[in-house]
Amino acid sequence: MEHYSVAVIAGDGIGPEVMAEGLKALQAVERVHNWIRFDIRCLDWNCGYYARHGRMMPDNGLEILRDFDAILLGAIGAPDVPDHISVWELILPIRRRFHQYVNLRPIKLLKGLESPLRHKGQAELDFVVVRENTEGEYSNMGGRLHAGTPYELAIQNNVFTRFGVERVIRYAFSLAQSLGRKRVTAATKSNGINHSMPFWDEVFRDVSRSHPEIRTDLFHIDALAAYFVSRPEIFDVVVASNLFGDILTDLGAAVVGGLGLAPSGNINPEREYPSMFEPIHGSAPDIAGKGIANPIATIWSVSMMMDHLGHREMGQLLLDGIEEVLVEGVVRTPDIGGRATTSEMGDAIVNSIMRKA
């Protein structure tokens, strides 16, 4: 028997709704492969926990997480807790403490879905964004002065270290290599942001010299965003700073069917610490409690977790299960044109996984 311990932070809003379906998919994997077991521990760290305790997780929260093989996160955020608290006191500490410096975000049009981009299909929409996940624009350094006066000002510093930039760019190149893909594209803005971005470009060029077989492009973030829509077929692996990658991947999600479908992995490539898998969407207060959130982003994130744990065939089984339901086209949540509930969608995917096994 192979055991994996998984910490589950379902979170707020639609987080628990989609996570319930992610866990069903995990149980389906256990039923198919009776030699694998997931020991699940659910942690109630969310904005409700904050209301009760004045913090997003216990003081030893990171120590608790340290011992798990992986972490699954639903979504965090509630209208009554400022977003910078929920993000800075829970998600960012996990990403940083566990050196999850790669945020891996596939942009892939699944079978059975149509892109809002006319003339673009599965062949054109299939690439991966590698977002730097521990530094850059999300720096926590800066401050505000002179509140309430006409001289009020706010400063936020961007922090780019050679260590941090180099390791994520290296990861992007090795990912391209291991996927058998030919191009790595970097997001830059060295015309306007005149210290950090030229530095980013320089490191990108340095690293690219050890991969002469891979074609490289450096595009300014504004033009790159436009290419996501007009020429998505030119991308294999895109590497971007924390903020640029965040924005690009919501756009990427939109061109392949929406936020309800987009998964991610916060990866510690060295495997010294647990990695964390989560849909890229938030807690969606506008639809929370209605039972209509799309669970695919979460189930696909579980599939990425299987890949990361070294069971690619199980990751593929989950993804095939999702695609089969989309191709049948009968059970769909409202965001992709249907009337199904979150749990009906999850059940349909579980059934298709069981049929395939």
> By the criterion CB under 6 A, which residues form the site for ligand NAD?
14, 18, 75-77, 83, 91, 259-260, 278, 281-287, 293-294, 297, 335
State the number of binding residues for Mn ion (CB under 5 A).
Answer: 1
Which of Mn ion, ligand NAD, none has residue 137 at its interface (CB below 5 to 8 Å by kind)?
none
Q: How many CA atoms lie within 13 A of 242 on its CB side?
A: 21
82 CB neighbour count, 10 Å cutoff = 12
Of the pair 310, 329, the CB lying nearest ligand NAD is at: 329
List Cβ neighbours of 180 (8 Å cut-off, separation of 6 or more): none
Which of ligand NAD, Mn ion, none has residue 335 at its interface (CB below 5 to 8 Å by kind)?
ligand NAD
Q: Assess contact for 86 and 94: CB atoms under 8 A.
A: no
Residue with token string 């039972």: 291
Of the pair 224, 326, the CB lying nearest Mn ion is at: 224
CB of 264 to Mn ion, least distance (A): 9
Of the pair 78, 224, the CB lying nearest ligand NAD is at: 78
CB of 119 to Mn ion, least distance (A): 28
Q: How many CA atoms lie within 13 A of 59 on its CB side?
A: 0
Q: Does 21 bind Mn ion (CB under 5 A)?
A: no
Beta bridge partners of residue 70, listed in sequence order: 6, 275
Alpha carbon of 163 to those of 132, 169, 170, 229: distances in Å?
12, 10, 11, 32
- 137/199 Cα distance (integer angstroms): 14
Of the pair 79, 192, the CB lying nearest ligand NAD is at: 79
Which of Mn ion, ligand NAD, none has residue 164 at its interface (CB below 5 to 8 Å by kind)?
none
Secondary structure of residue 36 in the 3-state scheme: strand
E strand intervals along 193-342: 215-220, 237-240, 263-267, 275-279
302 residue type, one letter: V
Sign of the four-CA dihedral 60, 69, 136, 50: negative
CB of 181 to ligand NAD, least distance (A): 27
CB of 57 to Mn ion, least distance (A): 20
Of the pair 297, 353, the CB lying nearest ligand NAD is at: 297
Which of Mn ion, ligand NAD, none has residue 260 at its interface (CB below 5 to 8 Å by kind)?
ligand NAD
Which of Mn ion, ligand NAD, none has residue 75 at its interface (CB below 5 to 8 Å by kind)?
ligand NAD
- 41/47 Cα distance (integer angstroms): 19
Judged by CB under 5 A, which of 132, 135, 236, 246 binds Mn ion?
Answer: 246
CB of 343 to ligand NAD, least distance (A): 13
Residue 278's φ and ψ, nearest 5 degrees, are -160, 150
Per CB under 5 A, contacts with Mn ion among 133-192 are none
Which of ligand NAD, Mn ion, none has residue 288 at its interface (CB below 5 to 8 Å by kind)?
none
CB of 76 to ligand NAD, least distance (A): 4
Of the pair 253, 306, the CB lying nearest Mn ion is at: 253
- 337/197 Cα distance (integer angstroms): 41
Which residues are at the interface with Mn ion (CB under 5 A)?
246
